[in-house]
Structure 1
């Protein structure tokens, strides 16, 4: 473990972490970053000529504590492009403040990445959805009660008041929708890509029926415990974002049934072939 200078500024910590990662990547120069959610980390196993860096080796980095999150960077080649994959992420509910949650996003920006793919496992509140669907995130509602940009603004990262009118790239979304009909699962079934608004909550409890009913009424289509802080930081840093949710359960307030994290991961595992197929197709086709 690297000895840390805790007196360093946030920007200095980001630069120290980025320098460490860059040094250990060798000749790999990633152009696309991917953040993989619960049960979705297997995509990292398809990276060619991989270089792995454990989070606990990186200066100032938090450590992932959630089951299903491996807790490491994997860099290499995917579909002909150089990528760096976060195999596991950090959450507000783990006790980290939002600046720590989004720390890796800024590190990836300092590595030269401007294209970011963010995935998550989410509960579906739209009655047209089914467990196992994928949802293109078109927008989000931040209900975490926090924002990673509160406090001193680091001008080296972005402006004080970032625009969020296009939090999720419309061009990226259009590309994902164009590619989806060509993606099939192991059963040969064609991917039906849903789209909608993601509600980000703090967690770690799942929502009550009344809370879910409220979120659906204010325009939410899916709900989860990640993503919004990372997207805010990415847009602050000028990165373009594609967001995809794996709908692991139906979170209809009036019909809510008990849910466990193990059930969420199990559905994500069943959905992996289509998810991986869509992300790989996007990485292959996107212009960076």
Structure 2
């Protein structure tokens, strides 16, 4: 709690409009910043106790400003288990955002499509998840000020917030889906056998992030919703090699669609 408060106090030493919505931008999905009237940017490395992103494509900064004339705070760059961070370190920024006063959390990510009805470039509004990170950010001593020891996860993806996303998607020229996200530790991509296993488990898409943040948001009673950009098709019977450069390239092509969706959604919050 002390570390969180020290980070909050440092951030509050700057002048900005108190944010109502927090946004976490995934790999290759930074286009929302073009729609933001930026008030201030703070590098992660300057914030006490903040992790530092080791991913080259992540800028590693927190941005305050207005999108659709609504006050927001944007995380440009997130943290992953494969970088060597613990669940508590990965989710530390989410707890800081909550203490800064946000009322809603929107998360984006780049994911692989397991469902055969999904295609590269489609967007998925996540409705549930399977945690295969084999860790939980709530493991260890519980801080009652943050939330209950055993938080309910019957609706981890807030229905009301997700419905706003769906309503705002209607006039966007893109294929939208509702699906179950599987969190994979990485950094190695999945094998054919692992893709088959994930499909048997009921996953529609797979990625290497998001679930820790969603768990912690639920712990703090912070409504959250997630949109995934599909960057590759994970058909175990017709699997082609994929590189991170390709994933980022495809994510950037869908970036304007995600930006439009988030901008419209924020205007309704």
TM-score by length of 1: 0.92
Q: Deviations over 1:195-249 (max 9, x none)?
A: 1000001110100010011101111000000000000011101100110000000
Map 1:137-152 → 2, pairs under 5 A:
137-152=126-141
Residue 222 of structure 2 is aligned with which of 239, 252, 266? 239
The answer to whether residue 209 in structure 2 is matched with residue 226 in structure 1 is yes
Alignment gaps of 5+ in structure 1: 1-10, 184-189
- Which residue number in structure 2 is paired with residue 186 of structure 1? none
- Which residue number in structure 2 is paired with residue 7 of structure 1? none
Cα distance, 1:42 vs. partner? 2.4
- Which residue number in structure 1 is paired with residue 3 of structure 2? 13
Residue 245 of structure 2 is aligned with which of 237, 262, 273? 262
For the residue of structure 2 that corresponds to 1:182, the secondary structure is coil
Residue 155 of structure 2 is aligned with which of 143, 166, 185? 166
Residue 67 of structure 1 is aligned with which of 50, 56, 60? 56
Structure 2 Cα separation of the partners of residues 70 and 44 of structure 1:
12
Structure 2 Cα separation of the partners of residues 65 and 143 of structure 1:
22
Cα distance, 1:45 vs. partner? 3.2
- Which residue number in structure 1 is paired with residue 170 of structure 2? 181
Residue 23 of structure 1 is aligned with which of 7, 10, 13? 13
For the residue of structure 1 that corresponds to 2:13, the secondary structure is helix
Q: Deviations over 1:108-159 (max 9, x none)?
A: 0110112000110000000000000000000000000000000000111111
- Which residue number in structure 2 is paired with residue 88 of structure 1? 77
Cα distance, 1:49 vs. partner? 3.5
Alignment gaps of 5+ in structure 2: none
The answer to whether residue 174 in structure 2 is matched with residue 191 in structure 1 is yes
Taking only aligned residues, the RMSD between alpha carbons, in angstroms, comes to 0.9
Structure 2 Cα separation of the partners of residues 226 and 15 of structure 1:
25
Map 1:22-171 → 2, pairs under 5 A:
22-24=12-14, 26-171=15-160
Q: How many residue pairs end up in the alignment?
A: 269
Cα distance, 1:22 vs. partner? 1.8
For the residue of structure 2 that corresponds to 1:258, the secondary structure is coil
Cα distance, 1:180 vs. partner? 0.8
Structure 1 Cα separation of the partners of residues 168 and 105 of structure 2:
17
Cα distance, 1:106 vs. partner? 0.2
- Which residue number in structure 2 is paired with residue 3 of structure 1? none
For the residue of structure 2 that corresponds to 1:45, the secondary structure is helix
